[in-house]
Structure 1
Amino acid sequence: MSRWISETLYADYQQRFKATDVLFEEKTEHQDLIIFENDFFGRVMMLDGVTQTTDRDEFVYHEMISHVPIMAHGEAKKVLIIGGGDGGVLREVLRHKDIQCTMVEIDASVVEMSKKYFPDHSAGAFENERCNLVIADGLKFVKETTERFDVIIVDSTDPIGPGEVLFTSEFYQDCQRCLSEKGILVTQNGVPFFQGDEITTTQERMSPHFKDMSFYVVAVPTYVGGFMTLAWASNDENARTQSVDVINERFVAAGFETNYYTPGVHVGAFSLPRYIEKLLK
């Protein structure tokens, strides 16, 4: 029997999914997790009442949070993913054949549930010999590691509950310490039409630690409210402003197909709508 499941992210607005079958529902050590079937979006995962991923549109977010920093860097060899337990970011990162990836996820159960219920998200990436999966606190990892990474991707939940510590000035400073000389940090940063304070707060906390800090946009259908933003930070002041021709040369050399990301979308994503620009100081 079907039931309607509401997303509870916003106090004054909700979206609902018709669940034709609830596949898994449990409160884990860290989060409330539910996975269900929807006739349009396929399988849907929600954590703490917030939509995390769906079969139908996951490629949009995963491609943009992964390929934009890697293509912009141009010579990335080592990538660190914080979070990303569904495996989608890992899958996209490992499409770049020269990259070794360390993934730090706090909740092993999210990884196991994703491998079982969302196998196409990871598409075998967890078993790839170039993946080093670490079940640990990402905050502690970046504080203590002696490794240096060319790209750090923070695929976290919103700044509530366990994900809150991944939006602090201390965390951003530790990420900067873990980056190579021309390294790039990219983080999930919400939907500014509804969550404008997140973009303002992130800028205030992140920008003191990097020479260049900005945002880029991506339109994910189930992250309602128009564009979502991804925060960008680097001490390489040229990485963000490269031409379509340069990015296209790297994309062609990478030798794989995408469903959302293109070199033109890459470059254009950094042109922010005016209502987002007004949130920046």
Structure 2
Amino acid sequence: MSEWIREPLHDGWAQTLRADETLFDSATEHQRLRVFENARFGRILTLDDVVQTTEGDNFIYHEMMTHVPILAHGAAKRVCIVGGGDGGMAREVLRHSSVEQVTMVEIDAGVVEFSKRYLPMLSQGAFEDPRLDLVIADGADFMRNAEGEEFDVIIIDSTDPIGPGEVLFTDTFYGHAKRAMAAGGIMVTQNGVPFMQGDELTGTMRAFQALFDDATCYLATIPTYAGGPMAFGWGTDSTARSVSLCELQERFAKSGLEPDYYTPDVHQAAFALPGYVQKLIP
């Protein structure tokens, strides 16, 4: 029988998703991890009934967190992903043939193995790519000791700032991560849905403004991350955000990418922020 699952993430407002078939359900005293099939979104992964990723719309999140910084940079060869155990972020980064090495730092090896079994359509073989270096470690500990790594792009693919993901939203973590960036590097973060989770964006922007010459965010609308568009933090000391549309189009054509959401026009438009989001940036 189908079951309607209510997501309780936001105070005073919720979405529901129909579980047509449950493939995995592990309820413990600490958390409940589920994978189920939904007629519209395919396989859905939830943690304590909060959507983590879906087969249907994950491409929007993963494309916008990878192609925007990589194409804005224009010459990224070394990329670091913190989190991303499902492999979707690595999948999109590795579509760039110009990227020579990807370091993916995931705290839980079990998440990787679980995703390979139940969500293989997200990674699409990324874990077998010889350019991927999978490091099983705490992301905060890794960055604390990563000075001199010189990553061109750092992608913080964290959960919300609750439990293990909380440390990835601190000023100290961002400071350590910046030390691991190459000159002209770009850092991007997931900062939730600002209409519902404005404090997440404000906190990251305060830290970024103290660290980077250019600190802002950009937006993308992801259906199952409900409540409005999602914000992605952007921090760099370069002028990468002002790259022209013509140049983006040339880089995009050269990349050979065939994304389902990202385009150079969307790239530029994503940085045009509505008033309520601008007010969340100190």
TM-score, normalised with respect to structure 1: 0.96
Per-residue CA deviations over 1:51-109 (Å, capped at 9, x if unaligned) read 11111111111000000000000000000000011111100000011211000011122
Gaps of 5+ in 2: none
Please say if residues 150 and 183 of structure 2, whose CA atoms lie closer than 8 Å, have aligned partners that are also in contact: no
1:59 alignment counterpart: 59
1:45 paired with 2:45, answer yes
Distance change >3 Å, CA 41–CA 85, structure 1 → 2: same
Give 2:15's aligned residue.
15
- In 1, the alpha carbon distance for the partners of 2:30 and 2:79 equals 25
User: Is the CA contact 1:28–1:109 (under 8 Å) kept in the aligned structure 2?
Assistant: no
Cα shift at 1:48: 3.0
Map of 1:46-125 to 2, 5 A cutoff? Answer: 46-99=46-99, 100-125=101-126
Tell me how far apart the structure 1 counterparts of residues 13 and 84 of structure 2 sit (CA, whole Å). 26
The amino acid of 2:49's aligned partner reads: G
Question: How much has 1:13 moved relative to structure 2?
Answer: 1.0
CA distance in 2, matches of 1:185, 1:280: 17
Residues 30, 151 of structure 1: CA spacing in aligned structure 2 closer, same or farther, 3 A cutoff? farther
Q: Are 1:270 and 2:277 counterparts?
A: no
Name structure 1 gaps, 5 residues minimum: none
RMSD between superposed Cα atoms in Å: 1.4
Matches of 2:31 and 2:127, distance apart in 1: 22
Whether the aligned pair in 2 keeps the contact of 1:20 and 1:39 (CA below 8 Å) is yes
**Alpha carbons of 1:175 and 1:30: their partners in 2 closer, same or farther (altered >3 Å)?**
farther
Of 228, 231, 242 in structure 1, the residue corresponding to residue 230 of structure 2 is 228
Q: How many angstroms does 1:264 deviate by?
A: 0.4
Tell me what 1:153 maps to. 155
Q: CA deviation at 1:28?
A: 7.8
CA distance in 2, matches of 1:35, 1:49: 10
Report the CA distance between 1:30 and its aligned residue. Answer: 8.2
The 3 A distance-change label for structure 1 pair 67 and 29 is farther
- What percent identity do the matched residue pairs reach? 55
| DSSP 3-state at the match of 1:15 | strand
Structure 1 residue identity aligned to 2:2: S
Q: CA deviation at 1:274?
A: 1.1
CA distance in 1, matches of 2:95, 2:19: 32
Q: Secondary structure at the match of 1:129?
A: coil
* 2:186 matched residue in structure 1: 184
Q: Which moved more, 1:9-18 or 1:253-262?
A: 9-18
Worse overlay, 130-139 or 20-29: 20-29
Look up the equivalent residue of 1:254 and give its one-letter code.
S
Does residue 245 in structure 1 map to residue 243 in structure 2? no
Q: How many residues align?
A: 280
Q: CA deviation at 1:19?
A: 0.6
Please tell me whether the aligned partners of residues 116 and 123 of structure 2 are also in contact (alpha carbons under 8 angstroms): yes
Is contact 2:59-2:261 (8 Å) kept? yes
Q: Which moved more, 1:105-114 or 1:188-197?
A: 105-114
- C-alpha separation in 2, matches of 1:32 and 1:272: 35
More displaced stretch, 147-156 vs 2-11: 2-11
Confirm whether residue 5 of structure 1 aligns to residue 5 of structure 2. yes
Amino acid at match of 2:214: D
- Three-state SS of the structure 1 residue aligned to 2:154 is strand
Distance change in 2, residues 1:264/1:30 (3 Å): farther
SS in 1 for 2:234: strand
